[in-house]
Structure 1
């Protein structure tokens, strides 16, 4: 009998919540479901006291300190009366539960439930822009108590590039293209590392679908797994990136205009910060490709030639259109 090493385990949801319910004051689980196998594993549970979401961080994806930074930030934002899906403390006051998985220790954290649905249109873009300005304003007051990686050039560009290039060995022209673009983007980031740009705590993944909107105009932010300290221009650029990437013929300019105008009305940015946003759209595209290739051992190596054709076509066209 062979005994290969496990790289990712999916836990039995009912057994999982039967055990977790003993640690939290959340009542009796009534219905649970495995929601997604993404950057982390997400489960949802209905109990006789309400709804909750459980995240199980993948092995070696985030350090304990990284996770505690995220959870402490969310607790702070909750204390600022901002609408965030926040961590739920265990009966003993702790936030993290260690799980003994075949691949190694994994951390689990329970969160409050985000009600509503994902929606990107003119009205929600405007609402979201104002909400992100408020979020950044509160984050300016946050004093980290735990170490976490920065959303700087190393994390956003250098590390993804190292993950991506081995997958392009059979496409030498694209290796040259990617290295050339990355080199130019790196110069832009180096020039923005002088402390003169808006730099602070960021959500890191504001693509418009990590927020749920309710019919009464309310919203709830969630999934701060990519948060960190970095350029606010990058944080904002992710919303634009989601609107344009893969949607060349369906880009709704009015949604981006509504978002950034609403943000600027509450929290003005300098022209140099705004000028960086197109740069970060290209950086985000490289980051995404690096993420997909770097996680292929868990998600599967579905990054075929068709995938690279599409992703690199957008990247090349974007940097050319914006003269980056």
Structure 2
């Protein structure tokens, strides 16, 4: 069945309104607060509780995968790590399946508790004290280490299923975010560079393996736009849509990606790693792979952008590819 990706705001409001009965909710107000890969509405309840209602994009996760996301976030919360916790429907499942207004498709809709706070990206943008910025990255390192501690010690239920950012997930025949070395806009030279990087990444990760205490469930998208600072100054991670199995270095690389040209990049990297090591062991061997995972993040975003034209992600892609190839050529595998 075709999956419309160009739903209007009015269509999304209809889906959100229709889903409310699954939780028995009658909010005082429902506000569209985010429209990206997923759509998020904030619900304000008569008893002053607030929720985030998420309409998930089609084709990215199955319902069992979405249910597994709720299992992990609940386990994190049970371990004392404050993250959005899913609210199950009155009938028990974590999601309601709601038809699109034209009846040609459907959307999975979920509900999580609302987290109060200010986006870390906004805090950093407004901050003038470099030391305070660096301190935030020390905090992020501690949060990531706590999450990795929980995931490494956790035994997921037998029905748990999520994607993997492993060798096949990055550079296999059908990677999770697509074949970055094989998209139409690439020149022959760019294909050669990226295909060479693909082979080097496969070899390096196969040699490293998954048995070094650095592979488990990871957030996989904990950049500063997905971190809130609550009124007490504590960091809260949210948006677990990309969470899957992967190397811990990738979690760290996502935090740092896009910041490499900042004059204090080395300082925030040191702070991030120091914060992480204050909670969880992280060997020099593990740290030595961080530049590789920064490059991997850069490369997989090539196909990620290509495959999301409905969100305007292809704008500027040619320049992004050129920069990625230049950085790949400069990288020492």
**TM, length-normalised to structure 2:** 0.85
Give the alignment's Cα RMSD to 1 decimal: 2.4
Q: Alignment partner of 1:224: what SS?
A: coil
Q: Which residue pairs with 2:128 in the alignment? A: none
Residues matched between the structures, number = 312
Q: 2:164 aligns with which of 144, 150, 156?
A: 150
CA contact (8 A) 2:181 2:195 kept: no
Q: Note the 1:39-118 alignment, pairs <5 A.
A: 39-49=37-47, 50-101=49-100, 102-118=103-119
Provide Cα deviations, 1:19-78, integer angstroms capped at 9, x if missing partner.
33322255x322222233322222222222322111111111111121111111111112
CA contact (8 A) 1:18 1:29 kept: no
Matched, 1:303 2:304: no
Q: Which residue pairs with 1:124 in the alignment? A: 136
Q: Alignment partner of 1:267: what SS?
A: coil
Q: Which residue pairs with 2:322 in the alignment? A: 312
Q: Output the CA distance in 1 between the equivalents of 2:332 and 2:213.
A: 21
Q: 1:254 aligns with which of 267, 270, 274?
A: 267
Q: Structure 2: 5+ residue runs without aligned partners?
A: 125-132
Q: Structure 1: 5+ residue runs without aligned partners?
A: none
Q: Output the CA distance in 2 between the equivalents of 1:319 and 1:53.
A: 43
Q: 1:218 aligns with which of 217, 234, 247?
A: 234
Q: Alignment partner of 1:220: what SS?
A: strand
Shift of 1:10: 4.1
